[in-house]
Amino acid sequence: MAKRLAESTYLVLVRHAETDWNNEYRFQGHSDTPLNDAGRATIGSVIEAVRPWEPVAIYSSDLLRAREMADEVGRALGMDITASADLRECNYGNWEGMTEEEIRKEYEAELEQWRSDEAGFARGGGESLEEMQTRSWAELESIADAHAGKAAAVFTHSGPIRGAVCRIFGLGIAERYRIQVDNGSLTVLCRTLKGLWRLVLLNQTVHLGLSVSASSPVASMAPDQPRDAER
């Protein structure tokens, strides 16, 4: 665990564990998909990764794949969970449940429209990445305000985590593909007394037994991989 600065506020962001739709490269968004057996098997490791940060509160997206993990961690640490819809993944509307190949066949024009405006276009009639980033960042700021000088654990999705990292470094949300956030990984943010946000850890996966190369913080998406990793 990284050394903690006295009187600073820490947010331990945990991406939900694996689902079947993750493996099938399907857009999940607001769809309430459960963890699969492989995902549930990692919860014990996540508990032990979160514990040293000594969170005084646990927050979670209200979607099952995040809440299921948060509930188990809460039970292990003897804490209740505060669920929030503002910590959800981006809403992909009628794209949800589909692969990129299926979307290309049925919504080719819409897909190309999104390619020309990845930050501002609302895929599938849902919400844009900018909208997702705005609502999730506001919630993270609120959580930090509520637990100033302490640590809170937040179980959420790759979209809000990438959005937070982009926000800290002044990157446009369209640059999120440069940031890898694996299922079950920890990303830790720190807000100092002066209000400066810092990135302490990015995509920590050592508790999952992943190799260094697999948990590299910068992801280079191969041409044949779906570009949207927020599923």
Active site residues: 16, 89
CA atoms lying within 13 Å on the CB side of residue 215: 17
| Tokens at 171, concatenated | 């990157």
What amino acid occupies position 92? Y
Q: Is the C-alpha dihedral spanning 143, 144, 145, 148 positive or negative?
A: positive
Residues 89-128: b if buried by 16+ CB within 10 A, e if exposed? bbbbbebbebbbeebeeebeebbeebeeebbeebbbebbb
